[in-house]
Amino acid sequence: MLTNGGGLGRLEALVDTPSVAERLAGIETTLPIGVRPRQLGVRTLLLGMLLALFDGRPAHLVRVHQALVGLADVDRRRLGVVVTWRTGPHTLTYRQVERTFSLVMGVLAKDEPDGSPTEVLQGVLDALIEASVPGEWKGASSSLAVDWTDVESFSTRRTKPDGTYPDEEAAWGPGPRSQSSCDACSSLRATTTRCHR
């Protein structure tokens, strides 16, 4: 269980830097408003994702929910994971996590996926990376490197009847061999379906 003194405090400091907080607030204001106010805010959803990753778990929504409900009681209440309804305390459900995530994805997604992020998503990612660099290292170099990590996708080699993959954004593994592919391209692990030539 993470507490405010452990990883949660560090992650909240990261998310609360002005550039990240401003972008998250912008996303929050564009989400549709329902009959009842949403219990889970964008900030808390992102904290749940970061907590899952911090604990070495994949950031699947189930793990995000587990990370949030696994916090200390005082942190759960402060972050809105547990709220008081007229019938008593209510703990955030998986369905609420799924719904908020779906709404955020609607804001961040492109109408036609092309492999590049939207301007809003790129802004959030840039702000998070910049905020994660310790102050003493900000001026050390103009170079910035991000380590690639294994990312799971639900895409498989099976295609839809129209010949496309279920997850257009997932281009993992070698593409199908075609006459235009060369041995160099087909032997790489993370290539697109097109040859470099």
At residue 105, the pLDDT reads 92
At residue 194, the pLDDT reads 44
**Which residues of the chain are modeled with pLDDT < 70?**
1-6, 142-158, 165-197
Q: Please give the Cα distance from 89 to 110 (Å, whole number).
A: 38
**Could you tell me how far CA 59 lies from the centroid of its own chain?**
7
Residues 6+ apart with CB under 8 A from 136: none
Residues 6+ apart with CB under 8 A from 197: 180, 182
Q: Please give the Cα distance from 137 to 168 (Å, whole number).
A: 37
At residue 167, the pLDDT reads 63
At residue 150, the pLDDT reads 54
At residue 56, the pLDDT reads 80
**Helices and strands (H, E) in the chain, number of each type:** 8, 2
pTM: 0.71
Token pair for residue 152?
A: 């799971």
Q: Please give the Cα distance from 111 to 126 (Å, whole number).
A: 22
Cα dist. 125→19, 122, 130 in Å? 11, 5, 9
At residue 6, the pLDDT reads 65
Q: Which amino acid is at 154?
A: F
Over the stretch 132-170, which tens digit does the pLDDT of each residue have?
Answer: 888 887 777 766 566 555 555 555 566 777 777 666 655
- Measured in degrees and rounded to the nearest 5, phi and psi for residue 2 equal -85, 145
